Amino acid sequence: MDRTERFYKIELLIRNRGGVSFKTLREALEVSPATLKRDLQYLRDRLDAPIVYDRGDDVYRFAPDAATRSATHELPGVWFSEPEIHALLTMHQLIAGLDADGVLGRHLQPLLDKLDGMLGADAAEVRQMMQRVRILGATARPVPSRYFELVGSALLKRRRIRMRYLTRSRGTTAERAVSPLRLVHYRGTWYLDAWCHQADALRRFALDAIEDAEVLEQPAKVVAIKTVEAELDGTYGIFSGKAARRATLVFDAGVAPWVSREVWHADQRGRTLDDGRYELQLPYADDTELAMDVLRYGEQVEVVAPATLRDAIRARLGRALARYA
């Protein structure tokens, strides 16, 4: 444990326990009495830590006026309480669930190591803690690490990307120059929202469909995030485009309590009907993803409008039944 980690550990112990003896601090930090004395002195004199020695209880604690002094005292770098550290370690598991190739986890590992040091946890304790959180990521589509890092770097450096991209719906591959604007993680897949210079418009690209890519020296086109949100987030699901239609779905009373708590779209409207059923209205542009989500509820949902969505779902059901005829 280096000196900075010891500083955090000292303050964390005092903050969470109210008072800590010299012996307890030594055991937690695994340092000599002389080193601990130097650390305490440095915290007081150089970092303005309001640490005082309480002779009556034989402990170190924060001075009674520490709350008023906290505005002028702050350790360099990040500061977290013990519950916040636990929450961040839990979030690390979530990141691991989103990050099958280990790209994000690898870059965040130094922070994770620092958090472990602040808690004073050994490797076995951290493993046990991580085993108590499990993220299930079904049907995830992993992205090769070289492309994820390349896109992330270009996004932050505001540089254009030239890429060879597979358009799955048409089964064609084409060269594209894009200005990256935003990374989106949705249902186990990473997407890049970007300005496509061939189409001269905003487009959304699946990162796992990139077959080759390189960062260009040209600066990326500047597009306001509000413009990106208005253009790409207005419709249902991951499909981009302006929401030209609005669906009305009615769910049976048996599933109404769950559906009423679900967020299908930021601009959705819902109400519980007199007979206990739940009516949900939401905008959409492409019926592909919406039809699949409606079919998850089977006979427990009715598509009231529009007729085109009803027809699309009926056609899907017909094709599915034909396979099992």
pTM: 0.62
3-state secondary structure the chain: CCHHHHHHHHHHHHHHHCCECHHHHHHHHCCCHHHHHHHHHHHHHCCCCCEEEECCCCEEEECCCHHHHCCCCCCCCCCCCHHHHHHHHHHHHHHHHHCCCCHHHHHHHHHHHHHHHHHCCCHHHHHHHHHCCCCCCCCCCCCCHHHHHHHHHHHHHCEEEEEEEEECCCCEEEEEEEEEEEEEEECCEEEEEEEECCCCEEEEEEHHHEEEEEEEEEECCCCCHHHHHHHHCCCCCCCCCCCCEEEEEEECCCCHHHHCCCCCCCCCEEEECCCCCEEEEEEECCHHHHHHHHHCCHHHEEEEECHHHHHHHHHHHHHHHHHCC
Mean pLDDT of 213-232: 93
- Please say if the pLDDT value at position 212 is more than 60: yes
The architecture that CATH gives domain 3-69 is: Orthogonal Bundle (1.10)
Please check whether the domain covering 245-323 is classified as CATH 3.40.50.
no
pLDDT in tens, 28-52: 888 999 999 999 998 888 778 889 9
pLDDT at 236: 82
Please check whether the domain covering 145-232 is classified as CATH 2.30.30.
yes
- Please say if the pLDDT value at position 320 is more than 60: yes
pLDDT at 146: 80
Residue spans of the domains in the chain: they are 3-69, 82-131, 145-232, 245-323
Mean pLDDT of 241-267: 90
Minimum mean pLDDT among 168-172, 218-222, 227-231: which range? 168-172
More confident residue, 217 or 233: 217
pLDDT at 71: 44
pLDDT in tens, 58-79: 999 988 875 544 444 555 555 5
Q: What percent of the chain has pLDDT over 70?
A: 75
- Please say if the pLDDT value at position 239 is more than 90: no
Mean pLDDT of 163-188: 91
pLDDT in tens, 112-137: 666 665 555 555 666 666 666 666 66
